[in-house]
Structure 1
Amino acid sequence: MSTQQTRVALVTGGSGGIGRSVVRRLAQDGYAVAVHYAGNPERAQEVVEEITKESGQAIAVGGDVADEQAMAAAFEATQAAFGGIDVVVNTAGIMVLAPIATLSLDDLDRMHRTNIRGTFVVSQLAAQQLRAGGAIINFSTTVTRTQLPTYGAYVASKAAVEGMTLILARELRGKDITVNAVAPGPTATPLFLNGKDESLVATLAKAAPLERLGQPEDIAETVAFLAGPARWVNGQVLFSNGGLA
């Protein structure tokens, strides 16, 4: 298949957690994939090797998502390797949990930089560079609706992501580019499981009507839907949470 016939995806945070499952799922659909990492090139290279062993196309690209020059370089590297970009998936994010009354403002700033500025930087570049028929897929969280204590600062950052996502969809009128956000529920990733005891995890697993935690592959299916066949879904926040909220 020629490069022009192959859809190309850039996945931020693509070396771990949900991002890694998204990369694998898009590769299964025939996408050439740029696997972005922030600080662990070895892990990103492992993902690249997994895909290329299955005769797929993948490269690793690095950088801080909030650094516009680093991300511009990542976009350029992706285009140089594959000829263009059709889909950008923003899974990169950080989560620090604490009550609003006691959260370190340094932690607030770190989440703001990665989750808000990072999403903005990458969305801005995607809006400028994606080919017609493309898709921008950002990440929110179901906790914007369930309002769990200790998630205040994290939810604030993800509510901002939802806001910019819905407005960007309207700003790209006439470009044939969709812009949506995925809002996962409790999903069995290191980011989610870190710091939670077995009892809390079991309680959260029972919260959804399907009575289990989501798996990264569940979220990747939602992303694959928005990236490819879901051309009439635009300017939406899609909750992938087993019916939790």
Structure 2
Amino acid sequence: MDTVGELLRRWRHRRRLSQLDLAIAADVSARHVSLVETGKSNPSAGMILRLADQLDVPLRERNRMLLAAGFAPRYAERPLDRDAMPAAWDAIARVLRAHEPYPALVMDRRWNIVMTNRAVDPFLAHAAPDLLRPPINMVRLGLDPRGLAPHIVNLAEVRSLLRTRIGRQLAVAPDAELTALYQDLLMPGSEDAGHPPESEVAIPMIFRFGGRELRLFSTTTTFGTPLDITLDEISVESYYPTDAETAAYFTEPRAHPARHFSLS
């Protein structure tokens, strides 16, 4: 088991900070940071969280640091439902409903779909049933030939964009399951040659359904100051039409059964 000093040093290296850089940011001495990292000083829970805050360590990993130092975890991890977190649930549900008639969904840190609005349903209708068994992974759903991949016109660009985003995510907070997903679906290949994303903001996802082309770009929203691991690790992905034809598609009358996908 890693010591708290080893974990702090690993996160400091990941953030490319020297001991002096971290000490200045946390308003402590560089010598104290060195003693903590080498195990010659036992930090308090408050000091661990102070250093972790300056290193922007995810809440899950802060709990791991506290446990390594012999302290109880500070942050809870509750399911995102009406019973466990009613205020958060209602806030997220309002955001999703307000974004209709355009698609929006909530994902966890491994890109599993937690919740969607009704505008996502037509896209899910094109996927194989086994891809829709929870937890539904958005990356696998999008890139699997039995999912949305055959309907994405600019698939190579989308794959390259996902590779960039998840690669950055793993650099910030490594995760074994997400790494496996990256290696399975996003490792560079010959099909990606000549298709680097020019801009994460400008590149749309282009779908073709029944002879109609839909062009969408997305924005990502996260909780600003979460104190719960679940909230710390989720994001809301909202999609917007880039042209009038796409906007018209989403305003056409159609029946959408309500959906909600759990993390389990």
TM-score by length of 1: 0.27
Q: Which of structures 1 and 2 has the bigger CA Rg?
A: 2
TM-score by length of 2: 0.25
